[in-house]
Amino acid sequence: MVHRLLQVSDTHLAVRPRDGDDAAPAARRNWAALRPWLAGAGADALVHTGDLVRLLPETAEDRALAAAELAAVGGTRLVVPGNHDVGHGLLDDPEASVEGPITAARVAAHRGAFGADRFAHELGAWLLLGINAHLLGTGMDEEGEQDEWLRATLRGAGGRPLALFLHLPLFLVDPDEPGDHATRTITVPAGPRRRLLDALGPGLRLVASGHLHQHRSAVVGGVAHVWAPSAAFTFPPIPDIAPLTDPQPPVTGVLEYRLTDRALTWGRPPVPGLEPYEYRPRSMRTSD
């Protein structure tokens, strides 16, 4: 039997644009096209891999909007947070993300709107796992709770093939690559990455992420690593990021996975009405 799973990521919804943010209206237009498509797609489950809100975790009205819009899709919905939802890095980290550090209060607010920030869901022969990537390596109590939950969940996995969903890619090119300054807010740090891969073991078949607004994929060591495009907008190429494979043209969209007992395929189905809006953050803009 074939099970169909949809992944959507980086929807970046906001009630209103802030500070001349021209990406927020594009995100709302693309979601208006995508939501009825998702509701009518007839998939067995939908996974959202984070950045549900446009800018800041403290924006309660944006969080409420994103929660209501996702609920309107219906069906089985599984959610993990992104950096715009809970922050990234620690309070004393000068290189924390522009959204600011992850805190217990931000995690609690996200959970209040969307439910748990992790999940385990059986789909046919598969076990789908979702984790809060921004806890990894923080030493927060919530990280310890997530680690304990994951160990207990894996003890009961019964040899099922595993699919992991999280906001950050695990790595750029090589699972053993070191973490460095250029990747601190882009991928999971090297130490937590290795511990996570060791815990998941040989049953891991898929790692599905978002965050980079680029659709790329590669099979590394028998594991499919798939980066979902943003459903809201694209970024221009980021020169410092070495791709898993040659990048496909920038796209907005959603991914569809087809899972059988031991195999999977994936692709990007066409969604009428989605526009390939390119957002250029101020740091990427150049004067004419």
Q: Which residue has the higher pLDDT, 78 or 248?
A: 78
The chain-wide mean pLDDT, for the chain, equals: 90
Both tokens of residue 113? 């709107």
Q: Which residue has the tokens 């992991």?
A: 164
pLDDT tens per residue, range 172-195: 888 999 876 556 688 999 999 999
Average pLDDT over residues 165-177: 93
Mean of pLDDT values over 139-148: 98
pLDDT digits (tens, 9 = 90+) for 34-48: 999 999 999 999 999
* Average pLDDT over every residue of 150-166: 97
- Give dist(CA 214, CA 173) in Å, integer: 15
User: Is residue 256 packed enough to be buried (19+ CB in 10 Å), middle (13-18) or exposed (0-12)?
Assistant: middle
Could you tell me the residue ranges of all domains in the chain? 3-271
Work out the pLDDT band at 31, boundaries 50, 70, 90. Answer: very high
Which tens digit of pLDDT belongs to each residue from 11-20?
999 999 887 7
Backbone φ and ψ for 53, nearest 5 degrees, come out as: -105, 160
Q: Please, are residues 46 and 78 in contact by the beta-carbon 8 Å criterion?
A: yes
Residue 96: predicted pLDDT: 55
**Residue 287 binned pLDDT confidence (cut-offs 50, 70, 90):** very low
> Mind listing the pLDDT tens digit for each residue in 3-13?
999 999 999 99
pTM for the model stands at 0.94
Mean pLDDT of 150-172: 96
Distance between alpha carbon 263 and the CA centroid of its chain, in Å?
A: 22
- Quote the CATH superfamily of domain 3-271: Metallo-dependent phosphatases (3.60.21.10)
Closest by CA to 171, choosing from 238, 81, 243, is 243
Give residue 262's pLDDT: 80
> For residue 169, which of 52, 82, 233 has the smallest C-alpha distance?
82
Mean pLDDT in residue range 84-91 = 86
Residue 131: exposed, middle, or buried by beta-carbon count in 10 A (0-12, 13-18, 19+)? buried
pLDDT for position 91: 62
DSSP 95: T
* Phi and psi based region of residue 213 (left: phi greater than 0; alpha: psi -120 to 50; beta: remaining): left
CA distance linking residue 50 with residue 117, whole number of Å: 10
Distance linking the first and last C-alpha atoms of the chain: 55
Q: Are 27 and 12 in contact (CB under 8 A)?
A: yes
Q: State the Cα–Cα distance between residues 161 and 2, nearest whole angstrom.
A: 14
Give yes or no for residue 87 having a pLDDT over 80: yes
* Mean pLDDT in residue range 51-58: 89
216-225 pLDDT tens trace: 999 999 999 9
How many residues can be counted in the chain?
Answer: 288
Cα–Cα distances (Å) from 62 to 13, 38, 217, 255, 282, in that order, read 6, 20, 31, 24, 22
Please answer whether residues 63 and 113 qualify as being in contact, where contact means their C-beta atoms are separated by less than 8 angstroms. Answer: yes
Virtual torsion, Cα 241, 247, 252, 258, nearest 10 deg: -110
State how far the Cα of 56 lies from the Cα of 86, in Å rounded to an integer: 8
Angle at 33 between CA 29 and CA 38, to 5 degrees: 135
- Residue 33: phi and psi, rounded to 5, are -80, -35
pLDDT at 57 over 90: no
